[in-house]
Amino acid sequence: MRNYAFTIMLVCSYLAVSQNCKHTLSGKVLDLHDGSILSGATLVVAETESISQTSIDGDYTILGLCENITYSIRILHSSCEIKTFYVKISEDTQRDFKLEHHLEELNEIILEGKAYENNTNTTLENNVSKETLERYSTGALGDALNSLSGVSSLNKGNGIVKPIVNGLHSSRIIMVNNGVRMQDQEWGAEHAPNIDINSVGRLTLVKSASALQYGGDAMGGVIIAEALKVPVKDSLYGKTMASLTSNGRGGVLTSELTKSHSNGWYGTVQGSIKRFGDFEAADYILSNTGLIEQNVSLCLGLNKFNYGIEGYFSFFSSKIGVLRASHLHGAADQVRAFESNTPLIINDFTYNIGAPRQNVKHQLARIKGFKTFENFGTLSLQYDYQQNNRLEFDIRRGDDRDKAAMDLELNTHTLLLDYENDFEHKLDLKSGLMARYQNNFANPNTGVRRLIPDYDKYELGIYLLGNYALNDRWLLEAGARFDYTHLDVYKFYRTSFWEDRNYDVLYPHIVVEDLGTQVLANPNLKFHNASATAGLKYTFKDNYQLFLNYALASRAPNPSELFSEGLHHSGARIELGDLSFNSEVGHKVSATIQRDHDTFSFSINPYVNTISDFIIIEPTKILETIRGNFQVWEYRQTSAQLLGVDIDAAYKFTDKLNFTHQLSIVKGYDRSRNLPLISMPPISTKNEISFEHPKFHNLKLALQSEYVFAQNEYPDNNFEVYVPETETTELLDISSTPSAYHLLNFNSSIDFEITKTSLLTVGLGITNISNTSYRNYLNLQRFYADDLGRNFLLNLKFKY
């Protein structure tokens, strides 16, 4: 075999001599992760045995290459893995090579890094940079994600911000925090992810279900938050950041300290505290919208070349006020609130947070170990435990005044076993097993019927993912996953509902106890879900990449879709679930064409997502109760289709002047009834012009324009309400969407070197410069109040 190869090489070199051999190959060698230049890298051309090195700017030039020959170029760098690239020469060629880090950040962290950076290879991943995260330090995680194309957010006021990816949210998005899939009652539209934005070092978004290692039910996508990697060397570093805002008259203090040692041990401690009073719209105070957040995270680990262990713990606690004027009883109250242009309750500014409010505590503990076996691969084992406690306080009467109206405790244990091969680079394999146990406990002492019942959930999952590099240009990827879910539920049904739904005929065997007005039932539900992905990546013309991906996702219905049955105060409506639901199955095809270039870069990402048995909630009737009329919303399964395109572009006028553009379009339809889907993000575009002067204290100035169109496609859910006071029947318009709006934001920062190892960054920002009054279709508070007015933000960051 070796002789053959030698002969071929001889023939090749013979041919080469007879051809034009005056071509050059030049370019840069870069770090795969952050694109930083790698100087002093050695490039060995196997065919000619010529050797060249990259300059201090990472540039290299190889001379005397022949036409129509594919050369193999082996690149070595002290801190990277050795990698061989194949390049076919037909003319003078420019080509950048990317290498993966090796020595400084030891093994598993790299493998981990690889797992994180390449969650999927055939879908374009979007990242929120550390800089952007720091800019959103006073906001929520959802605000930072909102800076990516294709992402919008479902808000309840300004404290509760839920990401929407390509039109989908809640249970259709997987949130991963430091390798742990968050189990934080994500099903509710007003339940924001319980992650402290200041603990996140890197935020990655995969806009499809193709990252199967985290789950097979990510119809919308996967959001991955992770801490920054710790280098294996003796060092002590950290940062402290203080941000103050005029709107909300509060701020954030966050601090982080990392100690690492050359023997592989490392530890990080991080904490932050956030405090705001009532926020303000352009013309008035949004009463009871203050918030308090306290977070701590700790990480301790040992990182050796072929084994390691890491423990991580985080505690997240938040108290978020909900606009006082948005708490209503019944449809007639809604009519009054809708008729008013300003909120019905506006009090003086205060830091106090009264009812309604949410108090949420989330604890997460994770321990993970890995070991690399030669000629086999790396095995890792992770156990994590999460506890989520959610208290919701309503406006109540008498002894119940200070008692939570909802008190849920969700405990989750997960065990993960993952394997990753370490064969030569052509075929990468990843597979794993998952076992999870979850218990939800709804405290009966609230004196309010449980919205989410008590349940035990058992899950098992298995996956296999692989990608194969055909050559340097073509990469193929495929994977499959199977999940089994078993729900063991104890739920009290109102007898009237139980009989109305015909459950007494359909499910008599699950009745445990009949209490007259209530029936205790014990449904046992089992779901078998298959998911898969297949895709390809093609690199052409050096800086173009084409991604093509198909993802099949299956999602078991969540507890609120199955078991809701009663008044949901935040929507002033009665919500009814359905016990007979089966899993949603989604097919998403997405393509991305990307050009990565110094002056002009862009990416265009169209997609089609077709989902069968899509679960939606819609109004069905008006119900008369002793408190007046309520609208009844029922969950229903249908066929849905979402189509859209996300566009990103960046143009560099000069070294210092940049322009970036973003456009997101998504359309969603209920195909069985031929209606638009509710709460689809309207078309939005962001354009930013930025100026950078690295030599003058790294000065950065940016002006951003954000234009959000009116959503012109929405279902008509309006209904009529009789108002006794006026003896009239009023149309309650809950469907019409707010008009388009334009916001201008300014952001700036400047660095000052305090000592050789410490740096002070001062940032100043203004959002909504023109103090525009606007309402956002995706803010549940939009019926009652305007969105946020102008805000000045001062940010001081001290790095040491």
Partner 1 sequence: MKKSIFLIPLLILALIFTGCSDDDTTPEPVNEEELITTMTVTLSPVGGGSDIVLKTVDMDGDGGNEPVITINGVTGNEVSLTVGTSYEGSIELLNESEDPAEDITEEVQAEAEDHQFFYTSSSSLDVTTNYEDEDINEKPIGVYFTLIANAASSGDLTFTLRHEPNKSAAGVATGDITSAGGETDITETFSITIE
Residues forming a β-bridge with 703: 689, 746
Contacts of 655 (CB under 8 A, 6+ apart): none
Pick from 21, 44, 269, 395: which binds partner 1 (CB under 8 A)? 395
The CA distance from 8 to 72, in Å, is: 14
Q: Is 510 a residue that touches partner 1 (CB under 8 A)?
A: no
Residues forming a β-bridge with 645: 606, 665
Q: Is 497 a residue that touches partner 1 (CB under 8 A)?
A: yes
Q: Is 397 a residue that touches partner 1 (CB under 8 A)?
A: yes
Q: Is 490 a residue that touches partner 1 (CB under 8 A)?
A: yes
The CA distance from 239 to 262, in Å, is: 21
Q: Is 589 a residue that touches partner 1 (CB under 8 A)?
A: no
Smallest gap from Cβ 762 to partner 1, in A, equals 44
The span of 6-14, 72-80, 487-495, 708-716 binding partner 1 (CB under 8 A) equals: 487-495
Pick from 348, 399, 402, 655: which binds partner 1 (CB under 8 A)? 399
Q: Is 501 a residue that touches partner 1 (CB under 8 A)?
A: no
Closer residue to partner 1, CB minimum distance, 2 or 516? 516
Smallest gap from Cβ 405 to partner 1, in A, equals 9
User: What backbone phi and psi angles, to 5 degrees, belong to 564?
Assistant: -55, 140
Pick from 68, 496, 524, 739: which binds partner 1 (CB under 8 A)? 496
Using CB under 8 A as the binding rule, the residues of this chain from 410 to 439 that contact partner 1 are 411, 413, 415, 437, 439
Instruction: Provide the b/e sequence for 208-225 (b: ≥16 CB within 10 Å).
Output: bbbbbbbbbbbbbbbbbb
Contacts of 115 (CB under 8 A, 6+ apart): 213, 420, 430
Smallest gap from Cβ 526 to partner 1, in A, equals 17
Query: Which string of x and - marks every residue 294-333 that binds partner 1 (by CB under 8 A)?
Result: -------------x-x-----------------xxxx-xx
Smallest gap from Cβ 442 to partner 1, in A, equals 8
Distances (CA, A) of 232 to 380, 462, 725: 20, 33, 73
What is the DSSP pairing of strand 728-732 with strand 600-625?
A: unpaired
Closer residue to partner 1, CB minimum distance, 5 or 515? 515
Pick from 103, 300, 604, 632: which binds partner 1 (CB under 8 A)? 632
The CA distance from 673 to 675, in Å, is: 6
For residues 301 and 307, the answer to whether their CB atoms sit within 8 Å is no
Q: Is 402 a residue that touches partner 1 (CB under 8 A)?
A: no
Closer residue to partner 1, CB minimum distance, 339 or 716? 339
Q: Is 724 a residue that touches partner 1 (CB under 8 A)?
A: yes
Q: Return the percent helix, strand and coil in the chain, to nearest 5.
A: 10, 55, 35
Pick from 74, 114, 486, 494: which binds partner 1 (CB under 8 A)? 494
Q: Is 139 a residue that touches partner 1 (CB under 8 A)?
A: no
Pick from 512, 657, 754, 796: which binds partner 1 (CB under 8 A)? 512
Using CB under 8 A as the binding rule, the residues of this chain from 343 to 372 that contact partner 1 are 344-345, 367-369, 371
The CA distance from 327 to 572, in Å, is: 8
The span of 474-482, 507-515, 649-657, 668-676 binding partner 1 (CB under 8 A) equals: 507-515
The tokens describing 470, both together, are 């055909």
The CA distance from 70 to 8, in Å, is: 12
Pick from 567, 640, 732, 743: which binds partner 1 (CB under 8 A)? 567
Using CB under 8 A as the binding rule, the residues of this chain from 173 to 212 that contact partner 1 are none
Sign of CA dihedral 86, 91, 92, 96: negative
The CA distance from 384 to 414, in Å, is: 5
3-state secondary structure at position 123: coil
Cis check: omega of the bond before 606, within 30 degrees of 0? no
Closer residue to partner 1, CB minimum distance, 86 or 373? 373
Q: Is 2 a residue that touches partner 1 (CB under 8 A)?
A: no
Contacts of 586 (CB under 8 A, 6+ apart): 209, 219, 551, 552, 553, 554, 555, 609, 610, 611, 612, 614
Closer residue to partner 1, CB minimum distance, 95 or 494? 494
The CA distance from 131 to 560, in Å, is: 37
Closer residue to partner 1, CB minimum distance, 270 or 382? 382
Quick one: which of 543, 536, 549, 532 has its CA closest to 212? 532
Residues forming a β-bridge with 76: 42
The CA distance from 315 to 105, in Å, is: 27
Q: Is 396 a residue that touches partner 1 (CB under 8 A)?
A: yes
The span of 22-30, 146-154, 268-276, 396-404 binding partner 1 (CB under 8 A) equals: 396-404
The tokens describing 506, both together, are 């359909």
For residues 60 and 26, the answer to whether their CB atoms sit within 8 Å is yes
The beta strand positions in 515-599, using DSSP E, are 518-521, 524-540, 544-555, 565-568, 573-576, 584-595
> Given the structure tokens 């146990």, which residue do they identify?
437
Smallest gap from Cβ 106 to partner 1, in A, equals 15
Smallest gap from Cβ 328 to partner 1, in A, equals 6
Quick one: which of 747, 741, 665, 655 has its CA closest to 706? 741
Q: Is 686 a residue that touches partner 1 (CB under 8 A)?
A: no
Pick from 180, 574, 591, 708: which binds partner 1 (CB under 8 A)? 574
Closer residue to partner 1, CB minimum distance, 337 or 591? 337
Quick one: which of 544, 550, 649 has its CA closest to 149? 649
Question: What is the size of the binding site for partner 1 (CB under 8 A)?
Answer: 70
The CA distance from 62 to 560, in Å, is: 62
Run of H or E residues at 336? helix 330-339
Closer residue to partner 1, CB minimum distance, 262 or 625? 625
The CA distance from 434 to 171, in Å, is: 19
Q: Is 647 a residue that touches partner 1 (CB under 8 A)?
A: no
The one-letter amino acid code at 156 reads K
Pick from 630, 669, 741, 783: which binds partner 1 (CB under 8 A)? 630
Pick from 170, 318, 382, 767: which binds partner 1 (CB under 8 A)? 382
Smallest gap from Cβ 496 to partner 1, in A, equals 4
Radius of gyration over every alpha carbon of the chain, rounded to an integer in angstroms:
28
Smallest gap from Cβ 557 to partner 1, in A, equals 20
Q: Is 444 a residue that touches partner 1 (CB under 8 A)?
A: yes
The span of 134-142, 206-214, 490-498, 742-750 binding partner 1 (CB under 8 A) equals: 490-498
Closer residue to partner 1, CB minimum distance, 129 or 625? 625
Q: Is 109 a residue that touches partner 1 (CB under 8 A)?
A: no
For residues 390 and 363, the answer to whether their CB atoms sit within 8 Å is no
Q: Is 339 a residue that touches partner 1 (CB under 8 A)?
A: no
Closer residue to partner 1, CB minimum distance, 492 or 614? 492
Q: Is 618 a residue that touches partner 1 (CB under 8 A)?
A: no
Pick from 517, 599, 674, 755: which binds partner 1 (CB under 8 A)? 517
The CA distance from 282 to 247, in Å, is: 10
Contacts of 398 (CB under 8 A, 6+ apart): none
Residues in the chain: 800
Smallest gap from Cβ 500 to partner 1, in A, equals 8
Closer residue to partner 1, CB minimum distance, 205 or 434? 434
Closer residue to partner 1, CB minimum distance, 419 or 490? 490
Run of H or E residues at 11? helix 2-17
The CA distance from 416 to 434, in Å, is: 5
Smallest gap from Cβ 295 to partner 1, in A, equals 24
Q: Which residues make up the interface to partner 1 (CB under 8 A)?
A: 307, 309, 327-330, 332-333, 336, 344-345, 367-369, 371, 381-383, 385, 395-400, 411, 413, 415, 437, 439, 442, 444, 446-450, 453-454, 456, 490, 492, 494-497, 500, 512-513, 515, 517-518, 520, 522, 565-567, 574, 576, 623-628, 630, 632, 724-725, 727
